[in-house]
Chains A and B, each alone.
Chain A
Amino acid sequence: MSDSPILELEKVSMSFDGKQVLRDVSLILHQNETCGITGPSGCGKSTLLRIVNDLLSPISGTVRFQEKDVKEWDPQELRRRVVMVPQEAKMFPGTVRANLVWGLRVHGMAADDEQLKTILQEVQLWPIDLDGNAENLSGGQKQRVAIARALLLKPKVLLLDEPTSALDTESALAVEKTINDLLSDYKMAVLIVTHNKEQAKRFTSKIVELENLTEAS
């Protein structure tokens, strides 16, 4: 494990319309580490991931990736390395193949069918018709395509928002195992939002529990 953190959150706070949802959240994540974010619904778990992905800017505090403030990163370059898989796995219009390579394409990269097969095997989605319409996939299949799509970018930090909510236990365990196996291959860290404390305990090396600030106040 490298000594310098790959991701660092320092006193990150966020509010919407005057209502505070995150207060002074701090977190350090090193390469090969997995961290679970848990807490009641509405406590800002997804908001925290969106802040790390720079889809939102916090009202105060700092997020550093590879020891550099995310504000200093080019947003596209940052998001190629710090990739988020949102809770709702949305498919772009087109085939499964087009969806898998979508992230690569926007960065001017490509993958051949062999690479796609490998990643799909890793997320337990092989065999599948690569030329089929992605919109026709089931919720669980879409979720795995979304994870595969993110992994193809070989991220340094993978942000997963309830990544196995549409999967059965067996598939969920398989996806967890895949991500754990890829940690060292990709030299990455994983930040995972889950309402499932069991999953957090089983899958992650550290857990951050958020409280619902709106209810508390």
Chain B
Amino acid sequence: MQLDLFALLQIPEQYIGMLQRYAAAMILLAILLMVTKWQGIGIGRKLIVGTIRGTIQIILMALILVYIFALSNLIVIFGVLTFMAVFAAYTTKSNLERIPGVMRATLPGILVGALSVMATTVALQIIDWQSSPGEFIIPMGGMLIGNCMGLTTLVIDRMWSNAQKQRPLLETALALGATPKQATELSIRESIRSGLLPNLNRYASLGIVSIPGLMSGMIIGGVNPLEAAIYQVIIFIMIFLSAMIASLITSHLFLREMFNERAQLTVPPPEL
């Protein structure tokens, strides 16, 4: 019956197994949705939209990846990374829709954080990119952008919720003449630290617990395992540096959304 349906839709046989696997994965998604609903975590809609959007995006990306990887012009390659960074910043905005001014703070952070580290790596030839620039720079840049996006989202979310929950402490600091930066430095520091923690865990257990995708992909692609391992360490350092730069820039810019020019807190109290 099922095969008839595929035949009716004229789906080539090579895709049938793939679609069946995708459908089976939806069972896992359904379980995830049930658990989040049961626990009242409230991310069900985001998960569904994310799955649909993510599937479309990744299929399109897979289809054009072969052309992107073939790119050799550095300007065009960094243009692609810029587009990815803009999209990452837009994603932070949509995930934190209750908070104003997110993209104004995350876009410069992600752009500068990810692209400056990538450009430095290219300029110093830390990675051997000349043979196939697109193949190296775009996936590595994507990893940096993804991590910058994750950390900047966390920093903004934490800064905003701390300003709501710890309002009296924040105003105590301001009342003593602290600048917005001084008043929030502790929560910024904490959020950067906790945002980097998952990657620090992966870094500490590298090769024993976590077998990272970049290294696995390179080994599968026929690269010398030693070289692949060194690349993995390099990418971790790049991730930490870019995420740190991005979060510092973002937190600095986001202070403008939390305080006005008189250093008065403009974050509203939490909604009950």
Contacts and interface: CB of A to CB of B under 8 A. Distances in A.
Interface of A: 50, 53-57, 71, 75-80, 83-86, 88, 90, 92-93, 102-103, 106-107, 146, 149-150, 153
B169 interface: yes
A146 to B, nearest CB: 8
B145 to A, nearest CB: 33
A83 B265 contact: no
Contacts of B178: 76, 103, 106
B206 interface: no
Given A86-B171, A88-B168, A103 B176 contact: yes
Interface of B: 168-169, 171-179, 182, 186, 262-265
B172 A86 contact: yes
Contacts of A50: 171
A67 to B, nearest CB: 19
Contacts of B174: 55, 79
17 contacts: A54-B263, A55-B171, A55-B174, A55-B175, A55-B265, A79-B175, A84-B175, A86-B168, A86-B175, A88-B168, A90-B168, A93-B186, A102-B173, A103-B176, A106-B176, A106-B177, A153-B176
B255 to A, nearest CB: 13
Contact of B263 (A75, A80, A103, A150): A75
A57 B182 CA distance: 21
A150 B177 contact: no
A6 B264 CA distance: 23
Nearest to B265: A55
Query: Which 9 pairs of residues, A with B, have the shortest CB-CB distance?
Result: A103-B176, A79-B177, A84-B175, A80-B177, A75-B263, A106-B178, A90-B169, A90-B172, A76-B177
A83 B175 CA distance: 6
Nearest to B263: A75
Contacts of A102: 173, 176
Contacts of A79: 174-177
Contact of A106 (B168, B171, B179): B179
Given A55-B174, A92-B172, A106-B173, 18 more contacts: A50-B171, A53-B175, A54-B263, A57-B264, A75-B264, A76-B178, A78-B177, A79-B174, A79-B176, A80-B176, A83-B176, A92-B169, A103-B177, A103-B178, A106-B176, A106-B179, A150-B176, A153-B176
Contacts of A75: 177, 262-264
A137 to B, nearest CB: 15
A204 B168 CA distance: 27
A11 B82 CA distance: 53
B177 A77 contact: yes
Contacts of B168: 86, 88, 90
Contacts of A57: 262, 264
Nearest to A89: B172
Given A75-B262, A75-B263, A107 B177 contact: yes
A134 B25 CA distance: 52
A53 B264 CA distance: 10
Contacts of B186: 92-93
Contacts of A78: 177
